[in-house]
Structure 1
């Protein structure tokens, strides 16, 4: 009996050692959660877990390498830290991988420690389950639908009762009208009919002063209405057209914190803020072929976003399976939202560079409960909260003038300090309001030629 127990304990120890060795071999001696962070920070530009991107799919790479090539994690340490040196050493498999993937040289990561690499490999071996996407406010769930069903029934009953009440009222009115018709045909009203005014001319002759007054009021209201209509031609505040490819600024600029100028690169140093080319989209979506974000807009699911990414591929002629361009492109006909008239000159660079901090400070001073952090939002609204971009302001001449009259200039910044060097004292005397504070109108912000030329 003692001998059996002794061998049983040895067997358990052996199994435990085997399992621990196995776990070590297949990358389980790292931290998958930390590995996920490192993987997303360093690897996702070229790799995905479950499919080939620029490089091969990495899920189960440790076990696959051990099984197919008989190589362990020591080889992966060398490959990840300095694959160029590994290839230069004549390593057969390193050179085979290089040739297989079109001689695309992998980035070197000498900054990653062996512990970091262990964490990444643990993530590729056993990735944590993805979190459920969060739904925006207003997104209905199945439970919400079940709870809303009784409320819907109640609403339907109220509508039916209201319609029956209206029908009853209409029947009552018809009956009363019938009684009035009969009364009109009776002899009792014969005397009254004789005293009635027979024509409009008689009414006008009797009440012509009142009539002229009403006509004058109507003429004034009509003139005001026409003038107001003319003044608002071309003002499209709230305009938000559908685009051929759905693009959510809330996901890109809000959830993912992508800087505006990464896509709109000419907004800071150019006259206009250009519409990004599809190649700008492909800088990221060359390796992001599906939506795995945590945010879902109401009424939309992952399949919807994946379909829009496929539209990008169709427009640029990108074959995600072969990881190459086909050469067959399709222009995208975007619908323009913000469009200055031809007779108006507006320079983005002048506002974004010279006026950036002044505009932000002025806006936040006027809107303490709705502050902004980037100058773009002063005119375009909080784009990072918009799923569909819309015109947030009037963009009328009056709107621009009001901004020029209230935006205080920072006379101490490098540009203004040098350019207005000899005008500081003169301007302070000429514009003594608010303790000598100088607004844009003081330096020509209201001159017609500044915007109309």
Structure 2
């Protein structure tokens, strides 16, 4: 009897332990660590709630157990080396391979069994989003919107007060003028009134008397008019600060600033070509094939997650990408980008010459002239701090004088192996020809001011 009671109690304890761990098939992982490992290794091809390059992984452990009667050992083998698992003749491994267009999953031999258990625990019981993320995301957007609305209302109130005050002042001035006019009429004698009515002034006689003053004023006005026209002509085509809206919103602050994407990853021809072209939509799809929604912490004031997600959908519409089937439909739409930087046809500018040959020289020169605004990428010397711009704008004048000033102050990198060899016989001659440069050779000394360099 006592023996039966002992076994009964042990059985109850075992059942309670089994029920307490029944939320997961294995319950041996750390979901928090699994989330970090998932983000580092899996998000390029997988998501929890939708199919991407690979299947959705939310609840994959229970799904495999229910549909295929496979346990976590199979998942361990698949994740570490799926090619070997397929080669062994595993039926389901080959079915998955065929189903996803024979796209081979990368092996992860570096992941330990515990790492994989952590990842699987995350796919089964993902932790709730941290409150801080909400505050940085939608919460921050709501706060920004409220602050903007409050500022707009305050500005409207101030404008109303100023307008009413101006109207009151104008009314007071008119009233004072009327009262002064009445006082003058009351104090004016009949003799003075008759004299004022009979007095007349000839404009012609007045001009003859002060003709030299009139001519001087006319000449001065003509000079000012000529200067105004000349100044207006000189600034035709200068659009510093120009930042048009684009058909698809693209924030350089998010891509180049927050995510540290190199400029030349998208603008590849800027380094080796004359023109820095606008990237094709295929370049965008290199990343956005797997990034169908915005999950970043940064939000531009006045914009929210829904706005960014909608802009990503515009990329899919332009390229004909169907995120549900992970395939191209062939139905594309052209994107009419608005050009921002546009040199005149009579100006020759080679990006490669500046980005490759002049990279270090331009960065060094800019940082010497702007110690409080140093740059680390040569692109910023002309285009400004693009990595801080939500909407790209023209950061400089891009006039002929602006270019010439740069050529006169930028030192040629004589430590460059090409320049050192090419200008070897010219060093002494250039130093004698430009003694004020104190031995420093600038771009203007090697032809940087020749007309034919930029005009043809």
Normalising by structure 2, what TM-score? 0.89
Counterparts of 2:306 and 2:214, CA distance in 1: 66
Q: How many residues align?
A: 450
**What is the aligned partner in structure 2 of residue 313 from structure 1?**
316
Residue 330 of structure 1: CA displacement? 0.8
**What is the aligned partner in structure 1 of residue 222 from structure 2?**
219
Counterparts of 1:323-342 in structure 2, within 5 Å, are 323-342=326-345
In 2 relative to 1, CA 316–4 (structure 1 residues): closer, same or farther, beyond 3 Å? same
Counterparts of 2:312 and 2:195, CA distance in 1: 83
Deviation string 1:41-99 (CA, Å, 9 cap, x unpaired) is 32222111111111111112122222322222211111111111111111111112122
Counterparts of 1:401 and 1:369, CA distance in 2: 23
Counterparts of 2:7 and 2:153, CA distance in 1: 68
Question: Helix, strand or coil for the counterpart of 1:403?
Answer: helix
Counterparts of 1:40-439 in structure 2, within 5 Å, are 40-128=39-127, 129-130=129-130, 131-132=133-134, 134=136, 140-141=143-144, 144=147, 155=158, 158-159=161-162, 162=165, 165-166=168-169, 168-169=171-172, 172=175, 175-176=178-179, 179=182, 187=190, 188-198=192-202, 200-439=203-442
In 2 relative to 1, CA 386–142 (structure 1 residues): closer, same or farther, beyond 3 Å? closer
Counterparts of 1:386 and 1:43, CA distance in 2: 30
Provide structure 1 residue ranges, at least 5 long, that are not aligned to the other structure: none
Residue 435 of structure 1: CA displacement? 3.2
**What is the aligned partner in structure 1 of residue 14 from structure 2?**
14
Counterparts of 1:445 and 1:165, CA distance in 2: 62
**What is the aligned partner in structure 1 of residue 25 from structure 2?**
25
Say if 1:78 and 1:86, in contact at 8 Å, map to a contact too.
yes
Say if 1:264 and 1:276, in contact at 8 Å, map to a contact too.
yes
Question: Helix, strand or coil for the counterpart of 1:436?
Answer: coil
Say if 1:291 and 1:302, in contact at 8 Å, map to a contact too.
yes
Deviation string 1:201-250 (CA, Å, 9 cap, x unpaired) is 22211221111111111111111111111111100000000001100000
Counterparts of 2:105 and 2:49, CA distance in 1: 19
CA RMSD of aligned residues (A): 3.1
Provide structure 2 residue ranges, at least 5 long, that are not aligned to the other structure: none
Normalising by structure 1, what TM-score? 0.90
